[in-house]
Chain A
Amino acid sequence: EADIYQTPRYLVIGTGKKITLECSQTMGHDKMYWYQQDPGMELHLIHYSYGVNSTEKGDLSSESTVSRIRTEHFPLTLESARPSHTSQYLCASSELVGGGYEQYFGPGTRLTVT
């Protein structure tokens, strides 16, 4: 079981609210990621970080923002939630294992915007 945590697990919120999804890991990994996943669809990378003070946008355009002030913490923020943001958000971190990167996933946050 990976030591990567996400809160809240489920969130139902009204349109226009600001929300922050928390992600933390205790493995000391430098690289961290946020993915968005709709039901029955593949995971899409929306943000990643190489380490403290490093954040980059991923393949899928997202209105969310991220920050990386501490190695163990990688929160995702939506300034004004909309119904189109309804999805599952998965956080992950990775380490170099045998020449390749092994990614460990958190349990996810299921977000519903009404």
Chain B
Amino acid sequence: KNQVEQSPQSLIILEGKNCTLQCNYTVSPFSNLRWYKQDTGRGPVSLTIMTFSENTKSNRRYTATLDADTKQSSLHITASQLSDSASYICVVTDRGSTLGRLYFGRGTQLTVWP
């Protein structure tokens, strides 16, 4: 069964601190993995996308890693800001889907305190 598991479920950090969110998946055959940021009451917005051959990708203060062998990914946020408070969702696409079917994790709810 294709699944995406994220940890922790929720996280509280102080402004300026770093944090790392985890994602494990069983989706096969694997096509790509994305991290989305979803603000409360909004739709998800893509932060990074990585294919099978990519190990790391950065987007401003966000750095995602991918280990396709162990089927694990992480999202590292550097020097957190209050605006980083949101749900971060790991999303995996299977290569066999002509629909572009996405498999979603439940997200990690990040709260940044001043």
Q: A residues near B, CB below 8 A?
A: 4, 9, 31, 40-43, 45, 48, 50, 90, 92, 94, 96, 98-103, 105-108, 110
Within 8 Å CB of A110, what residues of B? 41
Within 8 Å CB of A103, what residues of B? 46, 100, 102
A42, B100: Cβ atoms closer than 8 Å: no
How long is the Cα–Cα vector from A102 to B31 in the complex, in angstroms? 12
How long is the Cα–Cα vector from A92 to B104 in the complex, in angstroms? 14
Assign chain B's interface to a size class. 20 to 34
Evaluate whether A40 and B106 lie within 8 angstroms (CB atoms) in the complex, with A48-B99, A100-B31, A101-B93 already known.
Answer: yes
Evaluate whether A107 and B99 lie within 8 angstroms (CB atoms) in the complex, with A40-B109, A100-B51 already known.
Answer: no
Evaluate whether A45 and B101 lie within 8 angstroms (CB atoms) in the complex, with A92-B43, A106-B43, A110-B41 already known.
Answer: yes
Q: Is B45 an interface residue (CB 8 A)?
A: yes
A43, B100: Cβ atoms closer than 8 Å: no
Q: Which residue of A lies closest to B4 (CB)?
A: A42
Q: Which residue of A lies closest to B44 (CB)?
A: A105
B46, A42: Cβ atoms closer than 8 Å: no
Q: Is B42 an interface residue (CB 8 A)?
A: yes
Nearest-Cβ distance from residue B10 to partner chain A, whole angstroms:
9
Q: B residues near A, CB below 8 A?
A: 4, 9, 31-32, 41-46, 49, 51, 89, 93, 99-102, 104-107, 109
Nearest-Cβ distance from residue A19 to partner chain B, whole angstroms:
19
Within 8 Å CB of A92, what residues of B? 43
Within 8 Å CB of B105, what residues of A? 42
How long is the Cα–Cα vector from A106 to B43 in the complex, in angstroms? 5
A105, B32: Cβ atoms closer than 8 Å: no
A100, B104: Cβ atoms closer than 8 Å: no
A100, B100: Cβ atoms closer than 8 Å: yes
Evaluate whether A105 and B45 lie within 8 angstroms (CB atoms) in the complex, with A42-B107, A43-B104 already known.
Answer: yes
Within 8 Å CB of B46, what residues of A? 102-103
